[in-house]
Amino acid sequence: MFLEDTIAAIATPPGEGGIGIVRLSGPEAVQIAEKIFKPRKATFPLKSHRLHLGWVQGPQEGEIIDEVLLTVMRAPRTFTREDVVEINCHGGIVPLRRVLEATISLGARLAEPGEFTRRAFLKGRLDLAQAEGLLQVIRAKTGEGLQAALGQLEGTLSRRVREIRQEILLLLARLEAAIDFPEEEDVDEVTGRQVKAQGAGILEKVRALAEGARRGKIYRDGVETVIIGRPNVGKSSLLNALLREERAIVTEVAGTTRDQLEEYVNLAGIPLKIVDTAGIRKTRNRVEIIGVERARNLAQRGDLVIFILNAAEGIAREDREIASILQGKQVVVLLNKIDLGENIPEAEVRRLLPGAEAPIIRASLINQQGLEELELAISQLVFQGQVEGSRADFLASLRQIQALERASASLLDMLAGPLEDPDLLSIDLKAAYAALGEITGETVEDDLLDKIFAEFCIGK
C-alpha cells in the first residue's frame, strides 16, 4: 500500500449502462486528468468541485476516446482527502476500459479492491466502523438494513465507542497517578474502589452497545425466508407460530392472505425475516391475482423458501406449479395438517423437487407440532452456509460484536481483581481500551485491514 502513488479504477459495475465512472485518487490525479482531457470551454487549471464537459483523448494524434463530464476535486475536501478526479464516460465496457488505460499509461496504478475507502480511512476521513458501514450501505438488502448502515456510516457506533474509550482513559490516568505518587497508605485502596465503581458503569455501557449491535445485525443480516404454498395450507399459521403471536389473520377461508406480511424472528441467534404470502392458485379476484404474483416474485428473491403442502390432501396441481418456480432455491418442505391424514410419501416430494436436497418436515401447526424440527432444519441450513446472501455481512458485524465482548470480559476481570493493586486494574482497563479501539480502527493490525477492505469492490 503506497499512499504516495495515484490509483485509478472503474467505479461503476461492469456491463452496459447510461454512464460509467473512472475514478482517480492521489497526488498525480489532476495532472493525469489534464493530460488526457480536452475541455470544450474550461481552461487549465480546471476549477475544483465543478463538472467540465469535454473529451478524453487517446494516445494517437487527434484520437478521441469518449465525450465525458469530468470532475476535479482537490484535496482535502474529497472522499480520500487526496486529489480526486471522476470521469463520467458513456457506460460501455470499451470507453471505460480505454479511459482507464489512458490514465494507467500516464502513471496511475490500478486500485486494489476497497483501496479508495482504505485511503479515506488512513487519512482519517472515516474510521473503521464507518468504513464497514459504507460497505453495508452498498450491500443493504432491505430498507431497515440501509437505515442501520447509514447510522453506522454517520458514526453512531463510533461516537459511542469513543465516548466509552475517553472514560476509560480518564480512569487510567487516575490509576497512573496512584501508581506514580503513592502518598498515603490507603490511597491505592480508595482509588481502586472508585475506579471499580466507575468501571462497573462503563461495563454497563459496553454491554448495552453489544446488545444494540446484535439488534442492528438483525437488520443487516436478515435471512429472508419466504413462506409459500397454495391457499389454506397454513402459511399464516406458520408465521404466527414462529413469532409466537397472532400476527397474521388465520381463517378456514382459502385466500385469506392477500398482501405479504413481513416480520423478524430470532431463530437460535439467526435473524430470519419471515415473509407470509398469498396462497398460490389460479384466481379471478384482482386483489388476489396481485398477491399471487408478488408471492411468486418473493419466492424468487428470498434466501430461503418454506414450501408448505397439505399432507392430508396430497400433492395438488398448484403444488406442482409452485415447485416449478422453486428450482435452484434453498427449500424446506413442510407437510402440514398431518393430524388430518398423511397422504404424501417422502419419495413423491423428492420427485416434485428434483435435484434439491430439501429437508422434509411433518407438522401439525394447529397442535404446535413440527416447529422444533423446522427451526432445527433452518438453523442447520444457515450455519452450514447453504443459505447464501448474508454471510459476508455477518462476518463484518461479528467482528465488532466480538470486540465489544472482549472489552466486556476485560472489564469483568478488572472488577474481579484485587482493589489495592492499581497495576492489575490498569492492565485490564488497557485491554478493554484496546479492544474498543479495534472497532473504530484505532488499534488494529494491517492484516485485519486487508481482510476488511478486500470485501469491497474495485473502485470503491
Ligand X SMILES: Nc1nc2c(ncn2[C@@H]2O[C@H](COP(=O)(O)OP(=O)(O)OP(=O)(O)O)[C@@H](O)[C@H]2O)c(=O)[nH]1
Q: How far is the CB of 251 from Mg ion (least distance, A)?
A: 8
Q: Where are the beta strands (DSSP E) in 311-443?
A: 331-336, 360-362
Alpha helices in 61-186 (DSSP H): 93-105, 115-122, 128-139, 143-154, 156-180
Nearer to ligand X, 130 or 364 (CB): 364
Nearer to Mg ion, 142 or 256 (CB): 256
Interacting residue with Mg ion among 6, 78, 130, 257 (CB under 5 A): 257
336 touching Mg ion, by CB under 5 A: no
CA distance 124 to 120: 6
**Which of ligand X, Mg ion, none is residue 337 near (CB under 5 to 8 Å by kind)?**
ligand X
DSSP code, position 13: P
Nearer to Mg ion, 12 or 257 (CB): 257
Q: How far is the CB of 242 from ligand X (least distance, A)?
A: 12
Cell representation of residue 188: 491505592
Nearer to ligand X, 222 or 279 (CB): 279
225 touching Mg ion, by CB under 5 A: no
Q: How far is the CB of 452 from Mg ion (least distance, A)?
A: 42
Nearest to 33 by CA among 1, 71, 5: 71
Helix or strand (DSSP H, E) at 232: none
Q: How far is the CB of 226 from ligand X (least distance, A)?
A: 13
For strands 109-110 and 261-267, give the pairing.
Answer: unpaired
3-state secondary structure of 17: strand
**Which of ligand X, Mg ion, none is residue 233 near (CB under 5 to 8 Å by kind)?**
ligand X
Q: How far is the CB of 122 from ligand X (least distance, A)?
A: 53
Cell representation of residue 414: 478488572
Size of the site for Mg ion (CB under 5 A): 4
158 touching Mg ion, by CB under 5 A: no
Any idea how long the chain is? 460
Name the residues that contact ligand X, by CB under 6 A.
229, 231-237, 250-252, 254-257, 278-279, 336-337, 339-340, 364-366
**Which of ligand X, Mg ion, none is residue 180 near (CB under 5 to 8 Å by kind)?**
none
Site string for Mg ion, 184-223 (x = CB under 5 A): ----------------------------------------
Q: What is the DSSP string of 114-130?
A: THHHHHHHHTTSS-HHH
Cell representation of residue 105: 499509461
Q: How far is the CB of 267 from ligand X (least distance, A)?
A: 19
Sign of CA dihedral 368, 370, 374, 380: positive
- Start-to-end Cα distance in the chain: 16
Q: Which residues bind Mg ion (CB under 5 A)?
A: 235-236, 256-257
